[in-house]
């Protein structure tokens, strides 16, 4: 029996529509966010990245991977993201519980030292769980510009959970809409009660890489071209390996002070 490809084609069409909406509606927001990122990186600061659950995906899409460069600092809390076993130790239930524990965000950020040129980018499809609001409010309190990357439709359809009554879009200096629908899943299958095929990953990837390209162009224009992780297929294995080492060394130097240095501010205030 030959499978009917219609559900797969439906998903691809809806995924294309998400990318098209990002292109048609979010370029101004991406430009504003890229300006913040480029200003931070050019001044020797960092763009800190945070996401819980599956919003870890765009954090790692930003850095490190091929076509990426230092200046972005991933903050991925394993207790909120390492739920591969699904059940048992480090399971999905625990992660989903912890992302709703108010005050946990401040505990996470207490482990880092932030500098005067730093900024913060927070990824969340829903934009309402307590930990992401904690992180956004704490970043703002420390004087960092906050960029929210979120499904605005899903966020507005969700009730605020944080005691402040705020959603992520209420805490951000710039909001980029990933243009995935409320509920996330895109495809309705005949005879199946619930839709399948989430779209947020498509929106996140489109936004992250468009933003990354724009930041790279702006840094290069300012005379600070970034070291980019580049495949050996493009430049040869030896050159690629050497570039990886230099890129990782550059990243290490940029983030070294985050883990205990003063970074030009009073450490006692952290």
Summarize pLDDT for 202-218 with one digit per residue, the tens.
999 999 999 999 999 99
Q: What's the CA angle centered on 156, arms 155 and 157, to 5 degrees?
A: 90
Please state the domain extents for the chain. 13-264
Instruction: Please tell me the distance from the alpha carbon of residue 267 to that of residue 270, in angstroms, as a whole number.
Output: 6
What's the pTM value of the predicted model, to 2 decimals?
A: 0.93
Instruction: Please tell me the distance from the alpha carbon of residue 124 to that of residue 160, in angstroms, as a whole number.
Output: 13
Q: Is 110 a residue whose pLDDT tops 90?
A: yes
Q: What are phi and psi of 48, to 5 degrees?
A: -80, 140
Query: Model confidence at 229, in pLDDT bands (50, 70, 90)?
Result: very high
Query: Model confidence at 33, in pLDDT bands (50, 70, 90)?
Result: very high
pLDDT tens digits along 124-156: 999 999 999 999 999 999 999 999 999 999 999
In this predicted model, which residue has the larger pLDDT, 193 or 261? 193
Q: Is 262 a residue whose pLDDT tops 90?
A: no
- Which residues, in sequence order, are bridge partners of residue 47? 72, 119
Instruction: Please tell me the distance from the alpha carbon of residue 38 to that of residue 216, in angstroms, as a whole number.
Output: 8
Specify the pLDDT at position 82.
Answer: 84
3-state secondary structure the chain: CCCCCHHHHHHHHHHHHHHHHHHHHCHHHHHHHHHHHHHHHHCCCCEEEEECHHHHHHHHHHCCCCCCCCCEEEECCHHHHCCCCCCCCCCHHHHHHHCCCCCHHHHHHCCCCCCCCCEEEEEECCCCCHHHHHHHHHHHHCCCCEEEEECHHHHHHCCCCCCCCCCHHHCCCEEEECCCCCCCEEECCCCCCCCEEECHHHHHHHHHHHHHHHHHHHHHHCCCCCCCCCCHHHHCHHHHHHHHHHHHHHHHHHHHHHHCCCCCCCHHHC
Read off the pLDDT of each residue in 42-50 and give the average, rounded to a whole number.
97
Domain topology for 13-264: Rossmann fold (3.40.50)
CB-based contacts of 64, cutoff 8 Å, min separation 6? 74, 229, 247, 248, 251
List Cα–Cα distances, 58 to 15, 54, 107, 141, 149, in angstroms: 16, 8, 22, 24, 9
Specify the pLDDT at position 261.
Answer: 61
């Amino acid at each position: 029996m030959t499978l009917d490809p219609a559900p797969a084609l439906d998903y691809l069409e809806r995924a294309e529509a998400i990318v098209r909406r990002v292109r048609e509606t979010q370029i101004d927001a991406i430009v504003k966010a890229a300006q913040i990122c480029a200003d931070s990186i050019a001044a020797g600061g960092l763009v800190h990245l945070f996401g819980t659950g599956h919003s870890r995906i765009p954090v790692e899409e930003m850095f490190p991977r091929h076509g990426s460069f230092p200046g972005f600092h991933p903050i991925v809390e394993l207790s909120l993201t390492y739920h591969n076993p699904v059940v048992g130790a480090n399971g999905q239930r625990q992660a989903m519980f912890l992302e709703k524990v108010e005050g946990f965000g401040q505990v996470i950020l207490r482990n880092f030292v932030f500098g005067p040129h730093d900024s913060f980018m927070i990824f969340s499809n829903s934009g309402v769980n307590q930990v992401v609001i904690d992180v956004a409010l704490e970043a703002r309190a420390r004087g960092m510009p906050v960029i929210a990357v979120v499904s605005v439709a899903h966020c507005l359809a969700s009730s605020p959970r944080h005691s402040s009554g705020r959603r992520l879009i209420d805490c951000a200096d710039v909001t980029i809409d990933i243009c995935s629908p409320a509920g996330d899943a895109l495809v309705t299958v005949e005879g199946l009660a619930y839709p399948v095929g989430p779209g947020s990953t498509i929106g996140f990837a489109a936004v992250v890489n468009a933003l990354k390209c724009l930041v790279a162009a702006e840094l290069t224009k300012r005379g600070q071209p970034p070291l980019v992780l580049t495949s050996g297929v493009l430049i040869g294995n030896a050159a690629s390996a050497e570039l990886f080492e230099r890129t990782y060394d550059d990243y290490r130097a940029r983030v070294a002070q985050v883990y205990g240095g003063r970074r030009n501010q009073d450490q006692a205030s952290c």
